[in-house]
Each structure stands twice: as structure tokens, then as C-alpha cells.
């Protein structure tokens, strides 16, 4: 096992680029690190420079992660090598909360309607509470902290009303996937989501970020919105988030 240095993470990103879309989630983390975005993860491999398993895990010493909540994401080309790393007590602390995820990718194309262009902007810290209250995984202090980090350090996009208040928005997770797409109920049915997806996708491409997202299998509205814009699904691959409580 080896923890990669910043220079080695640059090399690893180039390797994972050849394995898209299955490597997208770990690739997203590495891409963010290499663009000097704040991170709470460290990157491990089973061997170097050739590797079969690459894992992003929360830095245990970082207080912002919390002592009982850690994240783990991985990509592997050899399940036996992955199994060996995951059962190694030095790699994962199995007594803590963690998330494991691979990926499922989409790629977009679409022009933004000119009539709403003047109402498109980025979120700022005054909007954290609103986003946190409407996020299905938020609503608490941890959600507030996570959203503050995302708005501060990653691209975001919103459509505002006549008073300059966000009515629809989309953010970028710290592993560079688009997410937290939401429109206030009274402003739905106006095509805001499609405008935001298209605008954010073009911005990510311009800034050198990957363009992909995760969609829950029962979220047919989001699935339709993305695919109608030209995003492509890989039907052979699915993401998975696992939570363990001991």
C-alpha cells in the first residue's frame, strides 16, 4: 500500500482518464486535487507506479471530517487486489461510517435560452441555508458545512428571481460530479433545470473539470432532464453508496 504524493496524483489522474467512465468518481477527486481545490481525502494505491486499486479515503486527522464519519471511494481492475486492501486494517477503519462509490457517466450538449441568461449567476455563502434546507441529505450542521465548502471552492450555478434570490440551482460535489439540482416548487415547469445543467456543463468543460453526474434509479425526472440534453448513460454500470453502523 502507498499513499500518493501530489506529483504522483497527477500521474494517477492521467491513468484513470483512460478508464472512464468506470473510474469517474475517483478521477473526479483527483482532478479536483490537481486543480488545487481543498480536499479532505488522501489517495492510496496497492502498488506504484503500476496499480490495480486506487482508493480515496477521508484524512483521519482532519477535524472537518468528524471522528465517526469518513468517506471511501475506489476504482479497481482486480477484485482480489481490492479485497486485500479493504480487509487491511491499515487501509480502512471498519468501525467508522463510510461511503463507497464507483460511477455512471453522462455527457452533455445544449445551448442556454437567451431569455434567462441575465438571471444566471453563481451561489454565494448567503445561500447556504436555503440549499441546506432543501437538500435531501442535508438539513443539519454537517450538511451546512458540506454545502459551505462546495459553494466556496467549487463551481455552482443558479437562476434568480426579480429580487436576486435563487429559485433553482446546481452544485458540484468535491469529487466533481454535478449534483444538488433543485428548483423551488413554485418555480418548476419553466425549464430551469435544463438551463442550469447546460450552463454548468459548459463551464466545467471550459475550466477543465470532468462532466458527469449520478442519478438515483427512481429519479425519473432528473434522468429525463439529463438524457434529453444529450447526456449518455452507461447501462452496464451503477454507482453504490454503502453505510455501515457498528
- Predicted confidence (pLDDT) per residue in 119-142, tens digit: 899 999 999 999 999 999 999 999
Q: Are residues 132 and 175 in the same domain?
A: yes
- Predicted confidence (pLDDT) per residue in 182-222, tens digit: 999 999 998 899 999 999 998 998 888 889 999 998 899 99
Q: What is the pLDDT of residue 117?
A: 76
Judge whether residue 72 has pLDDT over 90.
no
Q: What is the pLDDT of residue 237?
A: 79
Name the band, by pLDDT with cuts 50, 70 and 90, for residue 105: very low
Q: Are residues 68 and 26 in the same domain?
A: yes
- Helix %, strand %, coil % of the chain (to 5): 35, 15, 50
Range of the domain at 164: 114-228
Q: Are residues 76 and 143 in the same domain?
A: no
Q: Are residues 142 and 89 in the same domain?
A: no
Q: Are residues 147 and 91 in the same domain?
A: no
Does any domain span residue 178? Answer: yes
Q: Are residues 19 and 70 in the same domain?
A: yes
- Record the pTM: 0.75
Mean pLDDT of 72-76: 90
Name the band, by pLDDT with cuts 50, 70 and 90, for residue 114: low
Q: What is the pLDDT of residue 35?
A: 94
Does any domain span residue 235? Answer: no
Which of 4, 8, 11 minimizes the C-alpha distance to 45? 4
Q: Are residues 118 and 224 in the same domain?
A: yes
* C-alpha distances in Å from residue 25, one per residue of 4, 103, 127, 133, 135: 17, 6, 26, 26, 21
Q: What is the pLDDT of residue 67?
A: 45
Q: What is the pLDDT of residue 232?
A: 87
What is the four-CA torsion angle of 49, 52, 53, 54, rounded to 10 degrees?
A: 40
DSSP E strand boundaries for 59-151? 72-76, 120-121
Three-state SS at 241: coil
Does any domain span residue 233? Answer: no
Mean pLDDT of 143-170: 95
Helices 192-207/220-228 angle, 10° precision: 60
Judge whether residue 50 has pLDDT over 50.
yes
List the CATH number of the domain containing 167: 3.40.630.30
Specify the number of domains making up the chain. 2
Q: Are residues 88 and 165 in the same domain?
A: no
Q: Are residues 200 and 162 in the same domain?
A: yes
Q: Are residues 120 and 217 in the same domain?
A: yes
User: How far apart (Å, rounded) are the C-alpha atoms in residues 34 and 145?
Assistant: 23
Q: Are residues 98 and 118 in the same domain?
A: no
The most distant pair of C-alpha atoms in the chain lies apart, rounded to whole Å, by: 57
Q: Are residues 157 and 179 in the same domain?
A: yes
Mean pLDDT of 12-25: 93
Amino acid at each position: 500500500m502507498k499513499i500518493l504524493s501530489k506529483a504522483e496524483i497527477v500521474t494517477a489522474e492521467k491513468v484513470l482518464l483512460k478508464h472512464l467512465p468506470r473510474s469517474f468518481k475517483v478521477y473526479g477527486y483527483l482532478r479536483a486535487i490537481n486543480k488545487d481545490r481543498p480536499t479532505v481525502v488522501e489517495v492510496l494505491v496497492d502498488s506504484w507506479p503500476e496499480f490495480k486499486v486506487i482508493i480515496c479515503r477521508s484524512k483521519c486527522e482532519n477535524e472537518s471530517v468528524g471522528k465517526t464519519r469518513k468517506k471511501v471511494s475506489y476504482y479497481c481492475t482486480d477484485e482480489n487486489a481490492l479485497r486485500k486492501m479493504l480487509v487491511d486494517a491499515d487501509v480502512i477503519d471498519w468501525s467508522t461510517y463510510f461511503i463507497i462509490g464507483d460511477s455512471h457517466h453522462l455527457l452533455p450538449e445544449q445551448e442556454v435560452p437567451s431569455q434567462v441568461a441575465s438571471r444566471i449567476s453563481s451561489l454565494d455563502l448567503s445561500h447556504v441555508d436555503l440549499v441546506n434546507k432543501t437538500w435531501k441529505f442535508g438539513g443539519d450542521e454537517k450538511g451546512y458545512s458540506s454545502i459551505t465548502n462546495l459553494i466556496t471552492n467549487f463551481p455552482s450555478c443558479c437562476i434568480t428571481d426579480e429580487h436576486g434570490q435563487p429559485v433553482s440551482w446546481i452544485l458540484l460535489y468535491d469529487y466533481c460530479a454535478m449534483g444538488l439540482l433543485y428548483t423551488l416548487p413554485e418555480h418548476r415547469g419553466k425549464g430551469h433545470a435544463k438551463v442550469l445543467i447546460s450552463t454548468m456543463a459548459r463551464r466545467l468543460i471550459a475550466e477543465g473539470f470532468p462532466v458527469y453526474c449520478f442519478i438515483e434509479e427512481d429519479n425519473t425526472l432528473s434522468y429525463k432532464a439529463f438524457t434529453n440534453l444529450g447526456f449518455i448513460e452507461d447501462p452496464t454500470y451503477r454507482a453504490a453508496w454503502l453505510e455501515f453502523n457498528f
